[in-house]
Amino acid sequence: MLSNMNMPRLAQMQTVTLIPGDGIGPEISSAVVKIFQAANAPVSWEERNVTAIKGPGGRWMIPPDAKESMDRSKIGLKGPLKTPIAAGHPSMNLLLRKTFDLYANVRPCISIEGYKTPYTDVDLVTIRENTEGEYSGIEHQIVDGVVQSIKLITENASRRIAEYAFEYARNNQRSSVTAVHKANIMRMSDGLFLRKCREVAESYKDIKFTEMYLDTVCLNMVQDPTQFDVLVMPNLYGDILSDLCAGLIGGLGVTPSGNIGANGVAIFESVHGTAPDIAGLDLANPTALLLSGVMMLRHMGLHDHAHKIQKACFDTIREKKVLTKDLGGNSKCSEFTADICRRVQDLD
């Protein structure tokens, strides 16, 4: 095969906004940067911080330089951010979502060869509506001791996520899309979501469309996950199911995730926590952030680099010689990173 004529070595550098995050965020971000450098990926990083600040008018927002950088580059890679329970400001992830209208959360869950779990041959994608649903954040105390939380389902958001799901299925050669809902209980709200999915399915006759109750999906998922392909669902169910699927392949430490926004903005992130107990000790596992970076490269069209890095990462895990503690080994993060860098360079 001739060298790639459409992707010369001195390719135009694409800017990516890098948000290291908290806790182990900075160490795994620098690990990913090293690996990308070893792979000669044409990516130039702009590091930004996203601690919430109170803007004019008293509304919480992300720092303006972070917003400006993201709007310009359109692609972001984010490490874990702290989400305190009952703090003064809304969760940082929620804030980012609102700022960039990140309406779709995509999590491909593929079994990692070499990292054994009781579930094999998992290959599914969960696509979760990320802006409304149960997470609208609208809650009131009606009287003392009675609290009401409002779940919002709108036509537009449901249609948008359904369209994204079918587009994704088409672009990634997936054969079926399953809508997950609880329309037997929440007859109006999930009923609307389901109707929109059905309408959009009409325009994508090449993709098979099925619908399944959330509890049936859970029941079947733990017995035979291979029956699922692409799953699309509202916010809360998506949160739960995507974490459930992450558990099937080995946990949040090895699961990539991407958020797609309305104006072409896409932020890829690792979804594990900040792990404050091992922060700064060079023990963290950068796999999740790395695989998210790979997802990002694919989104940017840099499939060769993506493939190289993914292969190097999977080979390292399969060899089992330099694994971090959560993968069952005893090595440090820097050793794991160095091993992947070496493999990437060897693959050149």
Find out whether 246 and 115 touch, Cβ atoms under 8 Å. no
Q: How far is the CB of 85 from another protein (least distance, A)?
A: 5
Identity of residue 336: F
Query: Is 220 an interacting residue with respect to another protein (CB under 8 A)?
Result: yes
The Cα–Cα gap between 140 and 126 comes to 31
Applying CB under 8 A, which part among 180-188, 275-283, 292-300, 307-315 lies near another protein?
180-188
Calpha distance 27→239 (Å, rounded): 26
Least distance in angstroms from the C-beta of 304 to another protein: 33
88 binds another protein (CB under 8 A): no
In the complex, the smallest distance separating the C-beta of residue 202 from another protein, rounded to whole angstroms, is 19
Find the binder of another protein among 19, 102, 153, 288 (CB under 8 A).
153
134 interacts with another protein by CB under 8 A: yes
Task: Please state, in angstroms and as integers, the Cα–Cα distance from residue 142 to each residue in 139, 145, 146, 148, following that order.
Answer: 9, 8, 6, 7
Q: Interacting stretch for another protein, rule CB under 8 A, among 65-73, 151-159, 261-269, 303-311? A: 151-159
Nearer Cβ to another protein (13/185): 185
328 touches another protein (CB under 8 A): no
Under 8 Å between Cβ of 137 and 93:
no
Q: Which residues of 48-76 are buried (b: 16+ CB within 10 A; e: fewer)?
A: bebebeeeeeeeebbeeebbebbeebbbb
Distance, first Cα to last Cα, the chain: 14
* For another protein, the closer CB: 2 or 86: 86
- CA quadruple 41, 112, 164, 21: dihedral, nearest 10: -60
40 binds another protein (CB under 8 A): no
Please give the residue ranges that form the binding site for another protein (CB under 8 A). 83-86, 91, 94, 117-119, 134-135, 137, 139-141, 144-156, 182-189, 191-192, 194, 214-216, 218-223, 236, 239-244, 246-248, 250-252
